[in-house]
Protein backbone atom coordinates (compact mmCIF):
# COMPACT_ATOMS: atom_id res chain seq x y z
CA UNK A 1 0.00 0.00 0.00
CA UNK A 2 1.43 3.37 -0.96
CA UNK A 3 2.18 5.78 1.86
CA UNK A 4 1.20 9.38 2.36
CA UNK A 5 2.42 11.59 -0.46
CA UNK A 6 3.05 15.31 -0.37
CA UNK A 7 3.76 17.78 -3.13
CA UNK A 8 5.85 19.72 -3.70
CA UNK A 9 8.76 18.43 -1.63
CA UNK A 10 10.61 21.74 -1.63
CA UNK A 11 9.41 25.28 -2.11
CA UNK A 12 11.00 28.72 -1.95
CA UNK A 13 8.70 31.72 -1.62
CA UNK A 14 9.05 35.42 -0.90
CA UNK A 15 7.51 37.25 2.04
CA UNK A 16 3.96 38.34 1.34
CA UNK A 17 3.27 35.59 -1.17
CA UNK A 18 0.89 32.71 -0.58
CA UNK A 19 1.49 29.00 -0.94
CA UNK A 20 -0.59 25.86 -1.35
CA UNK A 21 0.66 22.44 -0.27
CA UNK A 22 -0.96 19.17 -1.24
CA UNK A 23 -1.34 15.85 0.54
CA UNK A 24 -2.70 12.48 -0.56
CA UNK A 25 -3.41 10.11 2.34
CA UNK A 26 -2.86 6.38 2.44
CA UNK A 27 -5.53 4.66 0.36
CA UNK A 28 -8.62 4.12 2.51
CA UNK A 29 -7.58 6.68 5.13
CA UNK A 30 -10.17 9.38 5.64
CA UNK A 31 -8.50 11.63 8.20
CA UNK A 32 -5.72 14.05 7.32
CA UNK A 33 -3.81 16.18 9.79
CA UNK A 34 -1.25 18.88 9.13
CA UNK A 35 1.75 19.78 11.29
CA UNK A 36 4.49 22.38 11.22
CA UNK A 37 7.98 21.38 12.34
CA UNK A 38 10.67 23.92 13.20
CA UNK A 39 13.91 23.51 15.15
CA UNK A 40 12.72 25.88 17.85
CA UNK A 41 9.10 24.83 18.35
CA UNK A 42 9.25 21.20 17.30
CA UNK A 43 6.20 19.54 15.80
CA UNK A 44 3.04 21.58 16.17
CA UNK A 45 -0.49 20.58 15.19
CA UNK A 46 -2.17 22.79 12.62
CA UNK A 47 -5.52 21.11 11.90
CA UNK A 48 -7.28 17.86 11.14
CA UNK A 49 -9.83 17.11 8.44
CA UNK A 50 -12.23 14.22 8.20
CA UNK A 51 -14.98 13.83 5.62
CA UNK A 52 -14.19 17.27 4.20
CA UNK A 53 -14.79 18.92 7.62
CA UNK A 54 -12.22 20.49 9.89
CA UNK A 55 -12.46 18.56 13.17
CA UNK A 56 -9.78 20.24 15.23
CA UNK A 57 -7.47 23.23 14.97
CA UNK A 58 -4.20 24.20 16.60
CA UNK A 59 -3.04 27.63 17.75
CA UNK A 60 -2.06 29.16 14.45
CA UNK A 61 -3.19 32.44 12.89
CA UNK A 62 -5.94 32.56 10.31
CA UNK A 63 -3.33 32.86 7.55
CA UNK A 64 -3.11 29.08 7.80
CA UNK A 65 -6.06 27.30 6.28
CA UNK A 66 -6.87 23.99 4.75
CA UNK A 67 -9.47 21.91 3.05
CA UNK A 68 -10.22 18.32 2.23
CA UNK A 69 -11.77 16.95 -0.91
CA UNK A 70 -14.23 14.10 -1.32
CA UNK A 71 -11.40 11.72 -2.25
CA UNK A 72 -9.73 12.56 1.12
CA UNK A 73 -6.90 14.48 -0.51
CA UNK A 74 -6.10 17.66 1.36
CA UNK A 75 -4.55 21.02 0.69
CA UNK A 76 -3.06 23.53 3.08
CA UNK A 77 -2.75 27.21 2.27
CA UNK A 78 -0.63 29.87 3.91
CA UNK A 79 -1.32 33.44 2.89
CA UNK A 80 0.87 36.52 3.36
CA UNK A 81 3.96 34.48 4.09
CA UNK A 82 6.32 35.57 6.85
CA UNK A 83 9.95 34.60 7.40
CA UNK A 84 8.87 32.62 10.45
CA UNK A 85 6.72 30.36 8.29
CA UNK A 86 9.87 28.66 7.01
CA UNK A 87 9.46 25.10 8.22
CA UNK A 88 8.85 21.50 7.32
CA UNK A 89 5.14 20.98 6.77
CA UNK A 90 4.01 17.47 7.44
CA UNK A 91 0.80 15.76 6.52
CA UNK A 92 -0.36 12.63 8.32
CA UNK A 93 -3.27 10.28 7.74
CA UNK A 94 -5.23 7.73 9.74
CA UNK A 95 -8.02 5.40 8.84
CA UNK A 96 -11.04 6.88 10.59
CA UNK A 97 -12.28 8.60 13.71
CA UNK A 98 -12.66 5.57 15.93
CA UNK A 99 -10.24 4.58 18.63
CA UNK A 100 -8.81 1.67 16.67
CA UNK A 101 -7.56 4.12 14.08
CA UNK A 102 -5.62 6.43 16.34
CA UNK A 103 -2.33 5.47 14.69
CA UNK A 104 -1.24 8.19 12.34
CA UNK A 105 1.29 7.97 9.52
CA UNK A 106 3.32 10.83 8.17
CA UNK A 107 4.22 11.82 4.63
CA UNK A 108 7.72 12.95 3.63
CA UNK A 109 6.89 16.62 4.19
CA UNK A 110 7.22 19.85 2.22
CA UNK A 111 10.23 22.00 3.07
CA UNK A 112 9.10 25.63 2.75
CA UNK A 113 11.67 28.42 2.74
CA UNK A 114 10.47 32.01 2.91
CA UNK A 115 12.99 34.69 1.86
Partner 1 sequence: QKEVEQNSGPLSVPEGAIASLNCTYSDRGSQSFFWYRQYSGKSPELIMSIYSNGDKEDGRFTAQLNKASQYVSLLIRDSQPSDSATYLCAVNSGGSNYKLTFGKGTLLTVNP
104 forms part of the interface with partner 1 (CB under 8 A): yes
Distance of CA 70 to CAs 3, 26, 88, 97, Å?
Answer: 19, 14, 26, 16
Q: What DSSP state is assigned to residue 97?
A: S
Peptide bond before 67: cis, by omega within 30 degrees of 0?
Answer: no
Residue 57 — φ and ψ, nearest 5°? -140, 140
Residue 56: CB atoms within 10 A of its CB come to: 11
Please name the residues in contact with 41: beta carbons below 8 A apart, sequence gap of 6 or more: none
Shortest Cβ 42–partner 1 spacing (Å): 5
Q: Residue 45 or residue 79: which is nearer to partner 1 going by CB? A: 45
**Considering only residues 57-96, where is the footprint of partner 1 by CB under 8 A?**
58, 88, 90, 94
Among 22, 79, 95, 105, binds partner 1 (CB under 8 A): 105
Q: Distance between CA atoms of 8 and 93, rounded to whole angstroms?
A: 17
x/- mask, partner 1, residues 25-64, rule CB under 8 A, reads: ------x-x-x------xxxx--x------xx-x------
Q: Residue 44 or residue 79: which is nearer to partner 1 going by CB? A: 44
Residues that bind partner 1 (CB under 8 A): 31, 33, 35, 42-45, 48, 55-56, 58, 88, 90, 94, 97, 99, 102-109
Amino acid sequence: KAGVTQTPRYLIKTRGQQVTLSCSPISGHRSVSWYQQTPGQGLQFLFEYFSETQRNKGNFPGRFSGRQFSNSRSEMNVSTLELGDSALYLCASRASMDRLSYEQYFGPGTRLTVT
